[in-house]
């Protein structure tokens, strides 16, 4: 029978109170690790909002601005870029594929993206996942529209639902391209990215709904009907931005420089990965706040343990005195209390990790279903193990205080305890 | 020639507040002797036993136990010496309630390798020793041994305490009013068992109590009496 055995038996003897402590600390561990795992995966997810794309090109502005409107469909481009520039650059020998992006119209608060079929072929998100259809197919006809999963869910659209596109943003927009309604031909699977909130049409369609418009207003008296438009040869003159995939990553910086120095108009090329990182960095205070809160929860858990151990010392004076009388030295008493808090925190941490993984296993499919975000159930990272280590260390250190008190008590009490 | 187990010379003990508590001009005890020390409540009996155990240090005076001079020993040496050579029995609530009988009896042998070695020498193993002693002390029911100590009557608990103090044959056994929570029958029975076991293992017994009714069991009797300095003396 070792000191550990003694600790264990004594622990079992007071299991009701210690169990409560165990639960409280394990919940704080769940919170601490849970917040960190969500933070880590949110960051990973965020930084792979768009993947496989080497460069994003738009009118010259800030890199965050370009990223926001081209990938997140937030805000507007300061300027459009000409179709000519797009054709020029996408024919560069280094370019493997290109996706033109034309933004500016909306449908009931959701952005409409004009693009080419290259979008469905080359656009990647997350771990290089391509877009997939839950129903239907990509656009073929001029008035075909593909909608994101969120759009379909929120607006209750199915294949064949009619869609009227409004000019500009804002769901109450008066100016609607209602003379040229679209039909839903495809619904995308959830991606957990801004694609879910987007309606996708062809560039020609964007061109078509604007043929009789100029400077943002419909020209009076020169209405072109949908039938007429179908017969027209439409060629886009302007787009908002485009994405490039390169043959070799090595040429990224070379091409970026070339685009930035493009003569015919002021262009800017950004590396989406870097821009995403910069954007994430702007939210780091959220990360830090969450971490601080979960850290404080752990601290309060450990303080609770400290308080419990200290308050139990008085009732345990007899236990200590008996141990002293059978030959335990003060150092044994100290060890006993530290072992006890170590035991409580270790068990708490194990329980916490167990609960966390149960929750993740259970919640992962639900989250995937609801939000399209994959919550990867994976092992703890080195940093997370370090967090766990810190909790255990803090818990054992908390045992030092009552341990020292018990040590002093047992020196003063000796073996005789007043009844 | 009989060997001295305990000698005390010119001892004065004071508590922190400075009032003298205990004075012992001279005290000697030979190996194998059994002494009854009587004193009223608060006279310093427990204090004396703590001094003999090396847990409390006197203001001045020499204490020699089994040839060891306490004044020359460090705390840790005293701790080890006590664990190896002295068995204790206290008044009540002597046992750890969350350990089984057997585990309680074996405790001293876990902390002292000397006592463990002696128990193994004598009984083959610590557990066998514990069982043998429990039996000799009248706890025949083997089912009890694995039960938690809390389930026992006070009288049974004190027998377990006695077995624990004796296992591993410490030279000295110190008992601090072990019978005060027992009724008269249980008290006499317990005392008889304790004395016979000490006889058997050749241990020196120092037994303190305020209860004169126990005196007749002992040949050697001492008394703590009020002294002129406000404390008690032996
Ligand atoms: N830790 C202590 N600090 C100060 N005085 C104490 C302490 N323990 C006991 N005393 C005092 O010492 C005296 C002797 O106590 P004790 O040895 O317990 O007596 P007994 O065991 O004979 O009843 C009492 O007056 C008691 O109040
Ligand atoms: Mg006493």
Ligand 1: list residues with CB < 6 Å: B 15, 21, 39, 41-47
CB-based contact A325 B88, cutoff 8 Å = yes
Confidence of residue A186 (pLDDT cuts 50, 70, 90): very high
Confidence of residue A230 (pLDDT cuts 50, 70, 90): low
Mean pLDDT value of segment A286-314: 83
Higher pLDDT, A220 or A327: A327
Q: Is B94 on the interface with A (CB under 8 A)?
A: yes
**Of the candidate ranges A18-32, A302-316, A336-350, B28-42, the one whose mean pLDDT is the lowest:** A302-316
Q: What is the pLDDT of residues B140-171, one digit of tens each?
A: 888 888 888 888 888 888 889 989 998 988 99
Give residue A220's pLDDT: 59
A139 within a domain of the structure (yes/no)? yes
Give residue A217's pLDDT: 57
Q: What is the ipTM of this complex?
A: 0.87
Distance from CA of B16 to the nearest CA of A (A): 11
Does A258 share its domain with A299?
no
Does A323 share its domain with A226?
no
Give residue B157's pLDDT: 87
Does A254 share its domain with A175?
yes
C-alpha A134/C-alpha A223 separation (Å) is 37
Q: Rounded to 10 degrees, what is the CA torsion of A29, A34, A37, A38?
A: -160
**Structural domain boundaries, residue A208:** 55-270
Bridge partner list, B223: B38
Of chain B, the percentage scoring pLDDT greater than 70 comes to 100
Confidence (pTM): 0.72
Is the predicted pLDDT of residue B117 greater than 90, yes or no? Answer: yes
Q: Which atom of ligand 1 is nearest to the CA of B45?
A: 22
What domains are there in chain B, each with its CATH number? 33-46+74-226 (3.40.50.300)
Does A254 share its domain with A332?
no
C-alpha A122/C-alpha A100 separation (Å) is 11
Is the predicted pLDDT of residue B210 greater than 60, yes or no? Answer: yes
Is the predicted pLDDT of residue A372 greater than 70, yes or no? Answer: no
Higher pLDDT, A419 or A14: A14
Contact at 8 Å (CB) between B29 and B5?
Answer: yes
Output the CA B173–ligand 2 centroid distance in Å.
16
Tokens of A80: 């459009």
Query: How many CB atoms within 10 Å of residue B76?
Result: 11
Higher pLDDT, A292 or A367: A292
Is the predicted pLDDT of residue A222 greater than 60, yes or no? Answer: no
Chain B residues with CB inside 8 Å of A322's CB? 90, 93-96
CB-based contact A325 B99, cutoff 8 Å = no
Give residue B205's pLDDT: 92
Does A137 share its domain with A194?
yes
Q: Which of A214, A244, A270 is the C-terminal boundary of a domain?
A: A270
Does A201 share its domain with A300?
no
Does A310 share its domain with A376?
yes
Torsions phi, psi of B73, nearest 5? -105, 145
Does A228 share its domain with A192?
yes
Starting from the CA of residue B40, give the closest ligand.
Answer: 1
3-state class (DSSP) for residue A397 = helix
A419 within a domain of the structure (yes/no)? no
Is the predicted pLDDT of residue A250 greater than 80, yes or no? Answer: yes
Confidence of residue A419 (pLDDT cuts 50, 70, 90): very low
Is the predicted pLDDT of residue A260 greater than 80, yes or no? Answer: yes
Q: Which atom of ligand 1 is nearest to the CA of B48?
A: 17
**Nearest residue to A202 via CA among A103, A130, A113:** A113
Q: What is the pLDDT of residues B48-104, one digit of tens each?
A: 888 888 888 888 899 999 989 998 998 888 888 999 999 988 887 788 888 988 999
Q: What is the pLDDT of residues A204-213, one digit of tens each?
A: 888 887 766 6
| Burial (0-12, 13-18, 19+ Cβ within 10 Å), A263 | exposed
**Into how many domains does chain A fold?**
2
Of chain A, the percentage scoring pLDDT greater than 70 comes to 88
At CA B77, angle to CA B71 and CA B80, rounded to 5? Answer: 130
A275 within a domain of the structure (yes/no)? no
Q: Which helix (H) or strand (E) holds B179?
A: none
Output the CA B166–ligand 2 centroid distance in Å.
21
**Nearest residue to B204 via CA among B67, B85, B94:** B85
**Nearest residue to A401 via CA among A311, A329, A300:** A311
DSSP assigned state of A379 = P
- The sign of the dihedral angle between the CA atoms of A39, A350, A12, A399 is negative
Chain A residues with CB inside 8 Å of B46's CB? 416
Is the predicted pLDDT of residue A414 greater than 80, yes or no? Answer: no
**Nearest residue to B154 via CA among B187, B129, B105:** B187
Q: Which atom of ligand 1 is nearest to the CA of A416?
A: 18
């Amino acid at each position: 029978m070792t000191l550990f055995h003694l600790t264990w038996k004594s622990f079992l003897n007071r299991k009701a109170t210690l169990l409560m402590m165990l639960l409280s600390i394990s919940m704080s561990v769940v919170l601490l690790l849970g917040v960190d795992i969500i933070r880590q995966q949110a960051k990973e997810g965020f930084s792979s909002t768009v993947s496989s794309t080497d460069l994003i090109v738009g009118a010259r502005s800030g890199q965050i601005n370009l990223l926001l409107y081209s990938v997140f469909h937030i805000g507007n481009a300061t300027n459009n870029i000409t179709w000519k520039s797009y054709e020029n650059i996408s024919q560069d020998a280094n370019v493997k594929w290109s996706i033109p992006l034309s933004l500016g119209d909306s449908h009931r608060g959701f952005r409409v993206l004009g693009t080419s079929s290259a979008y469905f072929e080359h656009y990647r998100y997350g771990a290089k996942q391509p877009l997939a259809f839950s129903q239907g197919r990509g656009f073929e006809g001029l008035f075909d529209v593909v909608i994101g999963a969120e759009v379909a869910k929120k607006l209750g659209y199915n294949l064949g639902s009619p869609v009227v596109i409004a000019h500009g943003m804002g769901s109450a927009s008066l100016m609607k391209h209602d003379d040229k309604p679209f039909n839903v031909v495809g619904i995308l699977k959830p991606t957990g990215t801004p694609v879910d909130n987007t309606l996708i049409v062809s560039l020609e369609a964007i061109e078509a709904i604007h043929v009789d418009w100029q400077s943002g207003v419909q020209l009076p008296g020169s209405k072109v009907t949908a039938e007429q438009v179908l017969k027209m040869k439409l060629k886009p003159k302007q787009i908002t931005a485009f994405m490039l995939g390169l043959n070799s990553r090595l040429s990224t910086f070379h091409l970026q420089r070339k685009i930035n120095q493009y003569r015919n108009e002021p262009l800017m090329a950004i590396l989406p990965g870097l821009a995403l990182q910069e954007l994430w960095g702007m939210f780091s205070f959220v990360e830090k706040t969450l971490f601080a809160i979960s850290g404080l929860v752990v601290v309060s858990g450990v303080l609770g343990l400290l308080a419990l151990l200290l308050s139990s010392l008085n009732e345990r004076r007899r236990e200590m005195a008996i141990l002293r009388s059978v030959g335990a030295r003060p150092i044994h008493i100290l060890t006993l209390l530290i072992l006890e808090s170590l035991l409580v925190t270790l068990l708490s941490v194990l329980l916490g990790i167990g609960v966390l993984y149960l929750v993740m296993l259970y919640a992962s499919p639900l989250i995937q279903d609801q939000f399209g975000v994959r919550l990867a159930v994976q092992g703890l990272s080195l940093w997370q193990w370090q967090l766990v280590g810190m909790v255990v260390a803090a818990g054992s250190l908390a045992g030092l205080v009552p341990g020292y008190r018990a040590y002093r008590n047992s020196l003063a009490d000796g073996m005789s305890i007043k009844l | 020639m009989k060997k001295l187990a305990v000698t005390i010379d010119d001892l004065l003990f004071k508590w922190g507040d400075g009032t003298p508590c205990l004075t012992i001009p001279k005290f000697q005890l030979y190996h194998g002797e059994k002494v009854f020390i009587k004193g009223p409540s608060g006279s310093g009996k427990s204090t004396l036993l703590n001094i003999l155990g090396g847990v409390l240090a006197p203001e001045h005076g020499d204490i020699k136990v089994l040839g060891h001079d306490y004044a020359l020993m460090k705390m840790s040496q005293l701790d080890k010496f006590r664990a190896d050579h002295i068995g204790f029995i206290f008044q009540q609530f002597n046992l750890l309630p969350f350990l089984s009988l057997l585990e309680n009896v074996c405790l001293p042998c876990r902390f002292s390798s000397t006592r463990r070695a002696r128990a193994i020498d004598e009984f083959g193993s610590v557990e066998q020793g514990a069982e043998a002693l429990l039996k000799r002390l009248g706890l025949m029911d083997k089912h009890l041994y694995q039960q938690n100590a809390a389930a026992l009557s006070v009288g049974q608990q004190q027998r377990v305490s006695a077995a624990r103090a004796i296992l591993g044959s410490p030279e000295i056994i110190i008992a601090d009013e072990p019978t005060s929570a027992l009724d008269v029958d249980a008290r006499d029975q317990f005392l008889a068992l304790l004395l016979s076991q000490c006889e058997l293992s050749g241990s020196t017994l120092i037994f303190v109590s305020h209860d004169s009714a126990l005196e007749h069991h002992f040949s050697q009797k001492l008394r703590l009496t009020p002294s002129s300095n406000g404390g008690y003396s032996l």
